[in-house]
Amino acid sequence: MPSITAPSPLDATHAGRRAAAALRRRLGRCLAVSALLLAGCGLAQAQDWSYRVRPGDTLWDLGAKHLKAGINWRRLQEHNRIANPYHLPPGTRMAFPIGWLRIEPAKAKVVAVRGAVNVLASDNAPARLVSEGMRIGIGSRLETGPGASATLEFADGSRLMVQDNSRIVFDELSSYGSTGMVDTRMRLQRGRTSNRVIPAKGPASRYIIETPSATSSVRGTHFRVSAGDHGAADATEVLEGKVQVGSQRSQVLVLPGFGTVAAAGAAPAAAIALLPAPSLLDHGTRLEPLPASVAWTPVPGAIGYRVEVVRDDAPEVLLYESRVDSPQVRIDDLPAGRQRLLVRAIAANGLSGRDSERVFTVNDQPLPPLTISPLDGQTVSVPRPRFEWAHAADAERTRLQLARDDRFEQPLVDTELKGQRYRPDDALPPGNYFWRVASRDAAGRSGRFGNALPFTVSDAPVDPGLESPQAAKGLLTLRWQKGEPGQRYRVQIARKPDFAKLLLEQEVDVPQVELKRPGGGTWYVRVQTIEDDGYAAPYGPAQQIRLPCRVCYGAGAAGAALLLLAL
- Reduced 3-state DSSP string for 202-250: CCCCEEEEECCCCEEEECCCEEEEEECHHHCCEEEEEEECCEEEECCCC
What's residue 372's pLDDT? 87
Q: Mean pLDDT over residues 158-164, rounded?
A: 95
Does one domain contain both 536 and 402?
no
Domain co-membership, 223 together with 344: no
Domain assignment of residue 269, given as a range: 32-39+104-273
Q: In this structure, which amino acid lies at residue 11?
A: D
Same-domain status, 419 and 500 = no
Q: For residues 401 and 489, state if they share a domain.
A: no
**224 and 349, same domain (yes or no):** no
For the chain, give the mean pLDDT. 83
pLDDT, residue 558, reads: 39
Tens digits of residue pLDDT in 287-317: 667 778 889 999 999 999 999 999 998 888 9
**Distance between alpha carbon 301 and the CA centroid of its chain, in Å?**
27
Of 336, 362, 388, the residue that ends a domain is 362
Q: In the structure, what pLDDT confidence band is assigned to residue 204 with cuts at 50, 70 and 90?
A: confident
Residue 561 confidence (pLDDT) above 50: no
Tell me if 512 sits within 8 A of 479, measured CB to CB: yes
358 and 372 share one domain: no
* Range scoring the smallest mean pLDDT among 19-28, 146-155, 277-286: 19-28
Q: Is residue 476 situated within a structural domain?
A: yes
Range with the poorest average pLDDT among 170-174, 479-483, 547-551: 547-551
Domain boundary among 273, 302, 322: 273
Number of domains in the chain: 5
Does a structural domain hold residue 260?
Answer: yes
Average pLDDT over residues 214-232: 84
**What single string gives the DSSP state of each residue in 27-76?**
HHHHHHHHHHHHHHHHHHHHSPEEEE--TT--HHHHHHHHBPTT--HHHH
Domain boundary among 222, 244, 273: 273
Kindly state whether residue 1 falls inside one of the protein's structural domains: no
The predicted-structure confidence for 32-61, as pLDDT tens digits, reads as follows: 444 444 444 444 444 788 899 999 899 999
Phi (first) and psi of residue 239, to 5 degrees: -105, -35
Domain co-membership, 266 together with 175: yes
Q: pTM value?
A: 0.65
CATH assignment of the domain containing 456: 2.60.40.10
Claim to verify: residue 256 and residue 144 sit in the same structural domain: yes
**What CA–CA distance (Å, rounded) separates 77 from 363?**
62
Both 136 and 222 in one domain: the answer is: yes
Under the banding of pLDDT at 50, 70 and 90, the label for residue 284 is low
Angle at alpha carbon of residue 354, lines to 349 and 360, rounded to 5°? 135
Whether residue 374 is contained in a domain is answered as: yes
Q: Are residues 319 and 375 in the same domain?
A: no
Distance of alpha carbon 515 from alpha carbon 494, whole angstroms = 13
